[in-house]
Structure 1
């Protein structure tokens, strides 16, 4: 439904190579060049430039990319709405792991109790993958804990959560830890690079001029329950959003480490493509899912 020249432009942006774009589109390289020249004439601006042999986007090209990406997303959304005209309401969205496992069940239960015919598809992935799905039109919106380019997405703060350090109740510290630096002599149990929880931890450490490599030992796991199990067994310390360990803290399986500097908090953010014509609908869904 998008103009074929816009599709060509987006493919060139994906590959930053005219020949590779032609292969993906199954057209000739001169045809790709002609499509781009036509767009440049239409917009009255150069969209690409070369820095040496490397193809780059111009400032005008960046603006067209942001707008065209939103257009593609909205076309997918429109097609879905047309398919749903005589069908059940459908929500297709993405969330990061912590949000999916420990935040979304309650609002989804409430939504399905109110609207039992609604069909729901919830993708769970890291923030970068969710942004890609959003840009491609594969999901309508996302709720993330990680960081994102704010110039490309409209957003609303979904909720603010405490970010806490935890360990086993009888974890054998040589001296009771009072600040973040006092934890560096321990094994850190954490998510893999790219996860929202890991990104927040890296930001916190960066503020103290530290990295995860400053800990005595590092164990990276892609599963929150596995990290909690190791922490409960006294095999290291870990950082979680408070909802993820609420049950373990209440049961005495983990204890929170109170560190100097006050509570660490971070926002979970509800976001969609900036400039989308469906913005009002996304805001309505936001309030339906507000925890």
Structure 2
């Protein structure tokens, strides 16, 4: 078990503030300072240094923080593994997930509900960001398991295929774009387009597809960029622009006739979702979640 001194140190290191750590841990600031002082005496080195009104980790402090992160991860894995041996239904642990927007909103809820009903004692947290941000969070050890749409693989990450989804071109049912039944790929630079933000997996799929057809992405007539699937969806409902969205994210709007698919000859957009873990750092908890997710989607 990580000692209270180390818990205090990790909170100060993450917040780079004694006062914020005090608020998070519900102990006085002098007590926080005392814990850090005793820890520095134990290791016979400074763990923090002041830079004006701010504090920063020393080289020793950074090393200690990295090691404690690893210890904390082992602690969580051990808690889960031992509790499963005793009683799988009462298994305890922490599942820190990261998911791209589409996954978090439209794929993950069903899996989380089923997983929680079976493992009610496991604490689950979900970081909802675009694919690039989820990848960064995994490498920074802020999460232990991610689900993203992947376009470029990183050596430090292990990828496990999950599900495949279509990305389609859509517009409002009131849009003038529907006057034409089909468009060619060469028409795209002349159409008003709304896109997701940089780092979005949906955007990456579109870029790759256009590159195959020798269309420069910069040629597109982009009217607006929006952060998140819901923001883009809501904008398209009220605008005369064309947008590209995962089919799974707009199933209700398509069924209700609020959004209509715009057919672009020769443009097929498909993306693969992956589970991502740091190489060599999988766990039975991660494996159990992945297995359940795949079974729910009949994979």
Question: Under a length normalisation based on structure 2, what TM-score does the superposition of the two structures give?
Answer: 0.67
Q: CA deviation at 1:279?
A: 5.2
Alpha-carbon distance, 1:264 to partner:
2.1
- Aligned counterparts of 1:181 and 1:73: Cα–Cα separation in 2: 51
Question: How far off its partner does 1:257 sit?
Answer: 1.8
Is 1:97 aligned to residue 101 of structure 2? yes
Of 213, 218, 221, the residue aligned with 2:223 is 218
Instruction: Give the 3 Å change call, closer, same or farther, for CA 210–246 of structure 1 in structure 2.
Output: same
Q: Deviations over 1:231-286 (max 9, x none)?
A: 1224201001111111100100011122223642110111111233x355533321
Structure 2 contact 185–266 (Cα < 8 Å) conserved: no
Q: Is the 8 A contact 2:95 2:285 kept in 1?
A: no
Q: Equivalent residue for 2:87?
A: none
Q: Verify the 8 A CA contact 1:142 1:271 in the aligned structure 2.
A: yes
Indicate how the Cα distance of structure 1 residues 27 and 151 shifts in structure 2: closer, same or farther if over 3 A, else same: closer
CA offsets 1:151-172 (integer angstroms, 9 cap, x no match): 3221111100011111122421
SS at match of 1:184: helix
- How many residues get paired? 231
- Whichever structure has more helix as a proportion of its residues is 2
Aligned to 1:125: 129
Contact 2:147/2:273, CA 8 A, preserved across alignment: yes
Aligned Cα root-mean-square deviation (Å): 3.0
Question: Cα 1:130–1:171, aligned 2, differ >3 Å: closer, same or farther?
Answer: same
The secondary structure found in structure 1 opposite 2:151 is: coil
Matched, 1:247 2:247: no
The alpha carbon displacement at 1:109 in A equals: 1.4
**What are the superposed Cα offsets for residues 174-229 of structure 1, whole Å, 9 maximum, x if unpaired?**
64433332232221111111122222222222222224432234210113223212
Q: What are the ranges of 5 or more consecutive residues in structure 2 without an aligned counterpart?
A: 3-47, 50-55, 84-90
TM-score, with length taken from structure 1:
0.69
Residue number among 185, 188, 201 corresponding to 2:206 in the alignment? 201
When structure 1 is superposed on structure 2, of 137-146 and 176-185 the one drifting more is 176-185
Shift of the 270–76 alpha-carbon distance from structure 1 to 2, 3 Å rule, reads same
